[in-house]
Structure 1
Amino acid sequence: MSEVTPEAPTGQQFTIAHGPFEATVVEVGGGLRSFTKDGMAVVAGYAEDEECRSGRGQQLMPWPNRIRDGRYEFAGQSQQLSITEVPRDNATHGLVRWALWELLEHEPESVAVRYRLHPQPGWPHQLDLRTTYVLDDTGLIVTPAARNVGTRPAPFGYGAHPYLSIGSLPIDDVELHVPAATWLATDDRMLPTRTHPVDGTRYDFRHGGRAGSEILDTAYTDVRRDDDGMWRCRVQSEAFGSVTLWADAAFPWLQVFTGAAHLHKGAPGVAVEPMSCPADAFNSGTSLVVLEPGEEWTGTWGIHPG
């Protein structure tokens, strides 16, 4: 009887490298498993023989975050998605993070993966999804895209779930820089209630501040962009240095999540999630993208040390 070699829990592994940088993208979900500089973690990922937990590096399409009761109405039709966050009775983080993505192109410094999202219960649309990962002198550049290849308009939102590494530091000692003037309050189901200015609140990290002992799982908007049109969110400490996540105009929202570090779930890190829309956008319409047949959405975000 021949010996069976076990496959990695996240399927095929696609590794790219440039100078001091190396990154690995996985077949399951087409997500980012690891990103290092000189062998040191830039993102808090997971090992090849581990399952992806806490959403590390996953892609969230065709919506990020949560949809209340898994229900929404679009184009005059009511839809019911599967409930994937059972304790809170929500449909969460889209339909593709556990799907098998296809390798489209693999070069030494770049990799592109794709997935055809077909109609299914609660989702009567067809999208071609594609994500390209590139390493250059600055770090990692990620470009997702979604094209409507169906015959009807389709609602769409995108999010990504990388965790910026903080080494072995306690999360309380980490400094956050979040360039956003507004935060989004949520109820006990983590669904949006209303937005508030960050002024005078514990959610104001525009000029830097300690993450502190309370868990953040907070969406931000009204982001301040630099002269190049990008917003930049930084996680920093004296002992470990800093890691910055940036995003272009396709991402008017970001989410900051410190819970995994507080609860010691996997390698310590702070999730900084670029998002095209907030939670429950299929119902609220807030920043929701509507793709007409043949139309494509795309955006670019990235991560660099320092």
Structure 2
Amino acid sequence: MFKINYIENTVSALNYIELKNSNRESNAKIYLNLGGSLQELILQKKIIIKSLHPITYEKSYASAVLFPFVNRIEDGKYTFQEKAYELEINQIEENNALHGLIFNKNFSIHNQNISEDFASVTINYTESKKQKGFPFDYTVFLKYTLTEASLTLEVTIKNEDQNSFPFNIGWHPYFYSSNLSESFLKFKSSKKLDLNEKMIPVKIENHVFEEDMLQIKDSHLDDCFILENENISFTTPNYTLKINSSSKENYLQLYTPKERSTIAIEPMTAAPNSFNNKLGLQLLKSGETFVIDWSIKLDTQL
């Protein structure tokens, strides 16, 4: 049987929801005050996502849902329907707007469901304050579903505004490995983005992997690939994960922090700076909704 617990921390004010099964082999912790982000995931006693302490969430954006834009907007500036907009700069050293606008919002519990086989919770956030650089009203629903060997995140965006708005979406989880150098990634891609010193794409390059799987070794990754399908696998000494998206247009950002026990594997529907370069950019009309889901599944065949 699965359970759902709500934990209110009166000291840190970081309130979270815990989904878990009764035998405690699988659990997930979702922090309402940190943009509804997934801060812990254990599947069949295997640590998949864990705290990045002492790196703070404000620095890592760990497991943040990236909306209405992924990655960076150069100088925070873009033009939409012949009107210029300027977002807040939250990456000072590169003078970019970074990782969207909901990563630090407070989410509320919308509904929840438990059964013998799963636990799910839906949380939501509504924006109605006309944020600087993105003066549109919208509601975001995040539905997390935990089973014995998987977690699914379904994101629903509803345009509550009278006007259409541009958008894309992504997810920023960091995955734990007991030995990152001996871990492997597998995905299908023949193109990657050439990034300048501000990590802004300047062109699309052809590339070929030397091996069927990319071994991380001691490499420092901060790269964006254009995927040919929605399938990614990540293999560590302790587990293999299948990471899938319901989107048909997919980009993959990979990032290895200096602390070498995790890697950010970021599925995205668009490229960095897409509000300007239009790579993967979408339009959501007034009253319409957009739905996407990402799944993390433990390969139990190994």
TM-score bin (small chain): 0.7 to 0.9
1:163 to 170, 174, 184: 174
Offset at 1:277? 0.8
Unaligned runs of 5+ in 2: 1-7
What TM-score comes out, normalization by structure 1 length? 0.86
What TM-score comes out, normalization by structure 2 length? 0.87
Letter in 2 for 1:122: G
Which residue number in structure 2 is paired with residue 193 of structure 1?
202
Deviations 1:10-35 (A, max 9, x none): 72111112473211111120110111
Offset at 1:117? 2.1
1:30–1:251 distance in 2 versus 1, CA, 3 Å: farther
Within a 5 Å distance, the mapping from 1:143-158 to structure 2 comes to: 143-158=154-169
1:82–1:246 distance in 2 versus 1, CA, 3 Å: same
Which residue number in structure 2 is paired with residue 25 of structure 1?
30
Offset at 1:212? 2.8
Which residue number in structure 2 is paired with residue 14 of structure 1?
17
Runs of 4+ in 1 over 6 A off after TM superposition: none
1:244–1:222 distance in 2 versus 1, CA, 3 Å: closer
Helix, strand or coil at the partner of 2:276: helix
Contact 2:121/2:144 (CA < 8 Å) preserved in 1? yes
Which residue number in structure 1 is paired with residue 47 of structure 2?
41
Which residue number in structure 2 is paired with residue 210 of structure 1?
215
Letter in 1 for 2:141: R
2:189 to 174, 177, 180: 180
Offset at 1:44? 3.6
Structure 1 CA distance for aligned equivalents of residues 120 and 232 of structure 2: 24
Helix, strand or coil at the partner of 2:265: strand
**Is residue 274 from structure 1 mapped to residue 274 from structure 2 by the alignment?**
no
1:59–1:24 distance in 2 versus 1, CA, 3 Å: same
Letter in 1 for 2:271: P
Number of aligned pairs? 283
Offset at 1:144? 0.5
Deviations 1:23-77 (A, max 9, x none): 1111120110111024431124457x99524121111111110000000000111
Bigger mean CA offset, 106-115 vs 62-71? 106-115
Contact 1:140/1:303 (CA < 8 Å) preserved in 2? yes
Structure 2 CA distance for aligned equivalents of residues 44 and 34 of structure 1: 5
Unaligned runs of 5+ in 1: 225-230
Structure 2 CA distance for aligned equivalents of residues 97 and 9 of structure 1: 18
Letter in 2 for 1:164: F
Deviations 1:260-281 (A, max 9, x none): 2xx117xx21111111111001
Structure 1 CA distance for aligned equivalents of residues 176 and 272 of structure 2: 25
Offset at 1:161? 0.6
Helix, strand or coil at the partner of 2:60: coil
Offset at 1:189? 0.4
Helix, strand or coil at the partner of 1:42: strand
Structure 1 CA distance for aligned equivalents of residues 278 and 139 of structure 2: 22
Helix, strand or coil at the partner of 1:177: strand
1:206–1:151 distance in 2 versus 1, CA, 3 Å: farther
Letter in 2 for 1:217: D
Which residue number in structure 2 is paired with residue 227 of structure 1?
none
Contact 2:26/2:149 (CA < 8 Å) preserved in 1? no
Bigger mean CA offset, 129-138 vs 144-153? 129-138
1:59–1:191 distance in 2 versus 1, CA, 3 Å: same
